[in-house]
Amino acid sequence: MDSALLDIRRIYVEPAAAELPRGREVLDRFPDAERVEVESHNRIPELYGDETNVARWVRIKRGALVLGVKKSLTARPNGRSADFIAPSAANGCAMACAYCYVPRHKGYSNPITVFANIDKIAGYVRRHAGRQGPKPTPNECDPALWVYDIGENSDCSLDARVSDNVRDLVDLFGTLPNAKASFATKHVNRDLLTWDPRGHTRIRFSLMPAADAKLLDIRTSPIADRIAAIDDFVAAGYEVHVNFSPVVVRDGWLADWAELLDQLDAGIGPAAKSQLAAEIIFLTHNRDLHQVNLGWHPKAEDLLWRPDLQQGKRSENGFWNVRYRTGAKGSYVSALRDLISTHIPYCRIRYAF
């Protein structure tokens, strides 16, 4: 494990999680870490909701781990990237992307939380998929299988360095005749190449121009490494798509995206190209996150907070978000679609927004 990315010094533990087999495995994996008993994984004052943590943003992500029990098990309909959002086997992240929406919900640094009741999570998913039966008609998620996003609030490639939860889910979906797992990642974990996904796990490598990634994708795998991994994951039995996300509009953005698309085209082989598809997600930012970022990474806000280009909108969760202005955004989407059709015409665009 890269100690610059993860060096777990303290584990916040729900007692019920420590009694479960997966909980004991995680604790054994980090035997030298201090253990702090907590009543609930999502009510830890020194981690969540304390604005003084801005000064310790990366230090917390690198050195803290939370071990809890997932209480509510639901599969939410999605219909865009996936048919359903599976119940989380983890949330939070050791990486520190400046645009990440997760801190908006949990508060400040938000390190990895591992849910130890993976057996119940997997059992719920198995039963839910069983109730769906065969997929009746193709849709933009997949032509034949129900798609479950297993990493909405975390990065599964990184989670797999902390526990075996992700492997258990990949193994599970390999046995389900009517469903597949899906997750987006910014972390190349080649340990996953030794697993057997049986074509029932879709990995979506998130890509953006390297100049943007250097400023915004903090503590993630370099863009070149993500592209270099695609062929290997296809050969290992994964379906591999790409997420062009988030797309940030700035001076010279289209020229840099053209360069990225050429790098992708040159970096993957025929097998990857024959199954490649993309999701395009333009930046949505948040007023509260903007204020947080000013405390630990203000340079990122030069790209992310652009009142001259953005308009505000209250989200369903009550947050004040900003996105590119209606009308102008449509032209941005069209311009990027045209680039993709020119530089990587074999890449199907699953959706763009």
On whether the CB atoms of residues 161 and 1 are closer than 8 A, the answer is: yes
- How far is Cα of residue 291 from the mean position of the Cα atoms in its chain? 23
Euclidean distance between CA atoms 185 and 324, whole angstroms: 24
What angle is formed at CA 117 by the lines to CA 188 and CA 66, rounded to 5 degrees?
Answer: 60
Q: What are the pLDDT tens digits along the chain (353 aa)?
A: 677 899 999 999 999 999 999 999 999 999 999 999 999 998 888 887 666 677 788 898 999 999 999 999 999 999 889 999 999 999 999 999 999 876 655 556 789 999 999 999 999 999 999 999 999 999 999 999 999 999 999 999 999 999 999 999 999 999 999 999 999 999 999 999 999 999 999 999 999 999 999 999 999 999 999 999 999 999 999 999 999 999 999 999 999 999 999 999 999 999 999 999 999 999 999 888 898 888 889 999 999 999 999 999 887 667 789 999 999 999 999 999 999 999 999 999 999 99
Chain-centroid distance of CA 18 in Å reads 26
Alpha carbon distance 35, 92 (integer Å): 19
Q: Give the neighbor-by-neighbor strand order of the sheet with 320-324.
A: 284-286, 320-324, 310-314
Q: Pick from 45, 41, 14, 43: which is nearest to 27 by CA?
A: 14
